[in-house]
């Protein structure tokens, strides 16, 4: 159950909020299936069957946002409404006006909603109170925002912040490509994207393609900067670092997969994977932040100390 896309947020380290407190806070917002006339329903669900809303292992916490959404395409509503409008025109001798059509579409949507297909999706969130991380397994910030919005509603005054680092990820990744050298513990892989910062927004993308240092430098000299870069950390995990500090396409390599292979029981396998994931990803995230100059607020604190 390795997370594949990491949207990163900071908590105070250590975060003095127990699993029991979190469980109690999430309980009023627990997941229940959507009713027949509901288009969307979200709530906190159990990460493990027969468990609680907070799964805990080695002080690491795992929570799960469940979402049920009804599929009711506008094309279907319009098609049925059009047929109904034709019947009305035949019966009354004239076509319904704009307001009547709007009301008709709303009635059709209400009629079709109970018969619409339901799609269930899960968004996993890992909370590391020891190192001060909240990590949402989501490909987009918008999906992560759904988790954060409901979490802040449940946990009063939760001290959650966006991740900020001292140096621009785009500038630092561009430097690595210019020097053809990654920071200690990392290697550059074969996927990257270089994008112009001017009005043209011209971009060059390499996908599973060896990076020719001279060719890359020419693109950089022409005004492009790196906004996505594939890296491998400590020969254990490959991923893509983005300009927005998202870590995407996370893949554990063989050295980690081999540690899981001897575990057969489903519950043991789940906990083994969770322990491995949290242990390794906490180190990876820490090294990424360090490679980008550290936390932005640490830079401010250092400057304050020097001024004093």
Chunked in runs of 10, what are the mean pLDDT values of the chain (308 residues)?
A: 92 95 97 82 94 96 95 84 85 86 84 81 97 97 96 95 96 95 93 86 87 90 93 96 97 71 75 93 97 80 38
Q: Is the CA virtual torsion 268, 269, 270, 271 positive or negative?
A: positive
DSSP 83: H
The residues that bridge with 43 in the sheet, in sequence order, are 66
Angle, CA of 124, 23 and 283, to the nearest 5°:
45
SS3 for 239? strand
SS3 for 257? helix
Q: What is the pLDDT of residue 35?
A: 77
Q: What is the pLDDT of residue 7?
A: 98
Q: Which residues, in sequence order, are CB contacts of 57 under 8 Å at separation 6+?
A: 271, 274, 275, 278
Q: Where are the alpha helices (DSSP H) in 27-126?
A: 74-92, 98-112
SS3 for 112? helix
Q: How many Cβ atoms from other residues are within 10 Å of residue 285's Cβ?
A: 20
Q: What is the pLDDT of residue 303?
A: 36
Residue in 176, 171, 174, 178 with CA at minimum distance from that of residue 187: 176
Q: What is the pLDDT of residue 263?
A: 58
Cα gap 36→34, rounded to integer Å? 7
Q: What is the pLDDT of residue 169?
A: 96
Residue with tokens 């053809």: 180
Q: What is the pLDDT of residue 154?
A: 96
pLDDT in tens, 239-292: 999 999 999 999 998 766 665 556 567 888 899 899 999 999 999 999 999 999
Q: What is the pLDDT of residue 259?
A: 59
Q: Torsions phi, psi of 245, nearest 5?
A: 70, 20
Task: Give, for 201, the enclosing helix (H) or strand (E).
Answer: none
SS3 for 132? coil
SS3 for 137? strand
Q: What is the pLDDT of residue 252?
A: 92
Residue with tokens 């959507």: 34
Residues 268 and 259 sit within 8 Å (Cβ to Cβ) = no
Q: Which residues, in sequence order, are CB contacts of 269 under 8 Å at separation 6+?
A: 260, 263
Cα gap 187→167, rounded to integer Å? 19
Taking only Cα atoms into account, the Rg of the chain, rounded to an integer number of angstroms, comes to 25
């Amino acid at each position: 159950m390795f997370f594949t896309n990491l949207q990163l947020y900071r908590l105070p380290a250590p975060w003095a909020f127990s699993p029991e407190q979190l469980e109690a806070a999430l309980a009023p917002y627990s997941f229940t299936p959507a009713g027949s006339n509901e288009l969307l329903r979200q709530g906190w669900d159990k990460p493990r069957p027969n468990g609680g809303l907070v799964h805990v292992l080695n002080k690491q916490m795992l929570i799960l946002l469940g979402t049920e959404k009804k599929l009711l395409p506008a094309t279907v509503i319009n098609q049925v409404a059009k047929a109904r409008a034709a019947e009305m025109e035949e019966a009354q001798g004239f076509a319904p006006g704009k307001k009547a059509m709007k009301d008709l579409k709303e009635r059709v949507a209400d009629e079709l909603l109970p018969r619409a297909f339901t799609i269930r999706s899960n968004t996993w969130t890992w909370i590391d109170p020891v190192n001060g991380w909240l990590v949402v397994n989501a490909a987009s910030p918008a999906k992560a925002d759904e988790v954060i919005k409901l979490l802040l509603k449940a946990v009063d005054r939760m001290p959650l912040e966006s991740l900020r680092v001292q140096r621009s990820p785009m500038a630092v990744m561009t430097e690595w490509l210019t020097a053809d050298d990654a920071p200690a513990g990392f290697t550059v892989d074969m996927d990257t994207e270089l994008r112009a910062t001017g009005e043209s927004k011209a971009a060059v993308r390499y996908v599973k393609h060896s990076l020719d240092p001279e060719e890359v430098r020419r693109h950089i000299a022409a005004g492009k900067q790196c906004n996505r870069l594939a890296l491998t950390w400590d020969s254990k995990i490959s991923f893509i670092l983005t300009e927005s500090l998202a870590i995407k396409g996370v893949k554990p390599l063989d050295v980690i997969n081999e540690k899981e292979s001897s575990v057969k029981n489903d519950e043991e396998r789940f906990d083994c994977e969770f322990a491995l994931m949290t242990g390794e990803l906490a180190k990876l995230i820490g090294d990424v932040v360090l490679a980008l100059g550290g936390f932005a607020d640490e830079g401010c604190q250092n400057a304050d100390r020097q001024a004093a």
